[in-house]
Structure 1
Amino acid sequence: MSASKDAPTTHTSVDLVDLDTVRTWMDKVHLGDGPITNAKAIGGGTQNIMLMFDRAGKTYVLRRGPEHLRPHTNRAILREMEVLQALGQTDVPHPRFIGGCDDERVLDGAIFYLMEPIDGFNPGDGLPPLYAENADVRKEAVLRVVDAAAALGAVDPRKVGLEDIGSPRGFLERQVERWLTDLEKYQEFDEYRGRKLDGVSEVAAWLNANFPKTWKPGLMHGDFHLANVMLRRDRPEVAAVVDWEMCTQGDPLLDIGWLIATGADKYGEGLLDNPMVVAGGVPTPAELVERYSLRTDRDLSSINWYAVLACFKLGIVLEGTYARALAGLAPVHIGERLHHHTELLFARAQRIIADPPV
């Protein structure tokens, strides 16, 4: 599929949301009255659009898909809505869901929802003084992130109404082929066709040859790393885990594998330039696993396999944005940055195989 060669129009996130339409919808569902004010774009990753605004003395955060909606975008936003509502019954830190619109006709084809703002900061965007100046605070904060992963993995999907989310049977067994298929689909973009990633075949072969002997399904976030959490500014504590579009019933140990894949290695070296990791003093992979082991009865003997799978899966997901960027369907500078991250992830996967961190 080849997009137009014309350069895509540059918009701000605020331009991409018709706030008059949002206000009319809010009127219908009785969420405040009067004008929407103080609308501004806020950070929300590279894939989706988030705005914060005020109405009738209350602050809201709106989340919708990107400017160029992909076939699965609205399904992912629907999933987030379902998950956030269900998590209200648990002690997993998350943004409180307010309301959502599942009618694609309302906002130019994009499903959207509203949630409460989080009083905290994203460590992917920089560190406040308490964290920047104290390695003990940084370490404790990351350990609390591990606790949040353990809390999610302990949730019984049936008790919170998420028994139908995802397909847990055979989840791990189908991962390698599923993501190789996605990588191959990127060849449908004329501008990406013929490109290859180093290490894909080798990492895939190792994953298939070293499959965990046993595993137990449960809820997992699916994109669990430090840029997808909000931390309190006044103490090392998780205010909320965010970006729930990849949440599913799968293997919760993959979330810990994700932290290992994207954080500091056993020598303290970072991968994706997260300020928390760059500042130093964060837990090693072994310390992450030790903390998780205190809060679970899951078998952690194959945790290095999960870290390699996380590198493999995340790398291919990020490469999709690069393929779309080459076709004019995502910002080029973001696509190029994520492609570089993909290369780093596959290099890390090979290092983990050669020199296991745990």
Structure 2
Amino acid sequence: MTSTHIDVSVIDFDALGAWMDAEGLPGGPITGIAPVPGGTQNVMVRFERGGRPYILRRPPLHARRKSNEVLRREARVLAALRDTPVAAPRLVAAQTTQEPVFYLMEPVEGFNPSTGLPEPHASDPAIRHRMGLEAAAALAELGRVDPGVLPGFGRPEGFLERQVPRWLKELDSYGELDGYPGPDIPGLPETADWLTRNLPRSFTPGVMHGDYHFANLMFACDGPRVAAIVDWEMCTIGDPLVDLGWLLATWPSNNGHVPGLPQPREIIAYYAALSDRDLSAIGWYAVMACFKLGIVLEGSHARAFAGKAPKEIGDLLHATTLGLFERAREFMGGALD
């Protein structure tokens, strides 16, 4: 077995085989067991049985308080998307009635660009440029899914109106941490005020990923296509344009690991060509994403004051927050017009 921090001994493979038999999946010995690196919240293991490969996803041995509920949610989302064209991992089966919750999915043949580029992507600027457009296309495809596939999921009524108060309340809660002097974020009240005054009048509810950025995409090994959108734990029914705003707010300003990506305006135009959603207020969604993400990251800065996170991490994320609010100012000034 591969040497890694992931401990596959938390999985009872005899019990797993019996459960798979009951699910009517191909039988035989479980072979080729190998940890799948890339996440710290849950355990992922690849294996084969009956000539078919699988990825198993389950909580760690010492699960966090919400670990099982998060996996129930993910399994429900992946089941709902299984028969759609959305580039989501294909769910095979899920065990959600007992804890630990786990599910099986088909392996995704692809790579994550945050870890570097293989060939032909590394050498072909046309492929790299197209990767950015395919990120927009995959998001537009998700935005076309009928939200009725997830009945009772999320609270779309008043979704946009809740965002600014929700995240200001989150920021206020950091004051409970010992030693945190409060947020020193230039432009914070102005951004909140601008968002409130420029709130879009209406939106069409749809399925949202909730954390749509390049590091949550896997690309096909032979070209620019998005092979899978991963990490669905924040998925909800809301306004899908929030996902597009999130992509723009987190878009690699220096192109990160992928040189030659399209500019944000090109991303917007490509999404617009594939969607019937009204993008006239797209600047609002990008500002909202900067506002929310900046406040989320400030939480680590606050925890560092209280000794609950490393100071260097807190300082780094605070600097990122300041950069996000500076970017919000650019968006408010019409940078995406």
TM-score relative to the length of structure 1:
0.81
Secondary structure of 1:246's aligned partner: coil
Contact 2:10 2:60 survives alignment (8 Å): no
> What is the alpha-carbon distance in structure 1 between the residues aligned to residue 165 and residue 212 of structure 2?
21
Task: Please say if 1:290 is aligned against 2:269.
Answer: yes
Cα distance in structure 2, aligned partners of 1:288 and 1:118:
25
Per the alignment, residue 9 of structure 1 pairs with none
**1:151 corresponds to:** 141
Distance (Å, rounded) in 1 between the aligned partners of 2:308 and 2:28? 36
Aligned partner (choices 345, 350, 354) of residue 324 of structure 2: 345
Deviations 1:33-70 (A, max 9, x none): 545654324113xx623423224354332334578755
**Structure 1 residues 141-164: Cα deviation after superposition (integer angstroms, max 9, x where no partner):** 111111111111111121xx3121
- Give 1:299's aligned amino acid: D
- Bigger mean CA deviation after superposition, 50-59 or 142-151: 50-59
Q: Structure 2 vs 1, CA of residues 20 and 77 (structure 1 numbering), >3 Å: closer, same or farther?
A: closer
Q: Which residue of 1 aligns with 2:6?
A: 14
Matched, 1:63 2:57: yes
Find the aligned partners of 2:16 and 2:301 in 1 and give their Cα distance: 34
Name 2:104's counterpart in structure 1. 114
Q: Report how far residue 88 of structure 1 moved.
A: 0.9
Which residue does the alignment assign to 1:171?
Answer: 159
Matched, 1:181 2:169: yes
Cα distance, 1:287 vs structure 2: 0.8
Q: Which residue of 1 aligns with 2:46?
A: 53
Deviations 1:169-206 (A, max 9, x none): 1100101111222222333343x633414143222121
Pick from 193, 196, 199: which aligns with 2:183? 196
Query: How has the CA–CA distance of structure 1 residues 58 and 21 changed in structure 2, closer, same or farther, with 3 Å as cutoff?
Result: same
Cα distance between partner residues in 2 of 1:189 and 1:177: 20
Report the equivalent of 2:128: 138
Kindly provide the amino acid, as one letter, of the partner of residue 183 in structure 2.
K
In structure 2, the CA distance between the partners of 1:175 and 1:70, relative to structure 1 (3 Å rule), is farther
Aligned residue pairs, count: 329
Q: Partners in 1 of 2:309 and 2:30 — Cα distance?
A: 32
Pick which of 83-92 and 255-264 moved more: 255-264
The 1:327/1:81 distance shift into structure 2, 3 A limit, reads farther
1:40 equivalent in structure 2: 35
Q: Deviations for 1:204-233, whole angstroms, at most 9, x for unmatched residues?
A: 121111111232211111111111111011
CA distance in 2, matches of 1:328, 1:69: 23
Secondary structure at the counterpart of residue 325 of structure 2: helix
1:339, 1:35 → 2: CA distance? Answer: 46
Classify 1:196/1:235 alpha carbon distance in 2 versus 1 (closer, same or farther; 3 Å).
Answer: same
Asked if the contact 1:68/1:330 (under 8 Å) is kept, the reply is no
Gap runs ≥5 in structure 1: 1-11
Residue 151 of structure 1 aligns to which amino acid in structure 2? Answer: E
Cα gap change, 1:82/1:171 in structure 2, threshold over 3 Å: closer, same or farther?
same
Say if 1:215 and 1:234 are closer, same or farther in 2 by CA, change over 3 A: same
Specify the code of the residue in structure 1 equivalent to 2:321.
Answer: T
Q: CA deviation at 1:259?
A: 1.3
Among 206, 231, 234, the residue aligned to 2:222: 234
2:92 corresponds to which residue? 98
TM-fit CA distance, 1:329? 6.7
Change (3 A) 1:22 1:342: farther
Name the SS for the 2:204 alignment partner: coil
- CA distance in 2 between counterparts of 1:26 and 1:326 reads 48
CA distance in 2, matches of 1:206, 1:319: 20
Q: Which runs of 5+ in 2 are unaligned?
A: none
CA-atom RMSD in angstroms: 2.9
Please report the TM-score for the alignment, with normalisation by the length of structure 2.
Answer: 0.85
Q: Which residue of 1 aligns with 2:194?
A: 206
Give percent identity, aligned residues only.
45
Q: Is the 8 A contact 1:68 1:329 kept in 2?
A: no
Contact 2:297 2:321 in 1 (8 A): yes
Report Cα offsets for 1:271-306 as digits up to 9, x if no partner. Answer: xx7312xx2x21111111111111112111110110
Q: Is the 8 A contact 1:52 1:59 kept in 2?
A: no
Shift of 1:247: 1.1
Instruction: Give the partner amino acid of 1:90.
Output: T
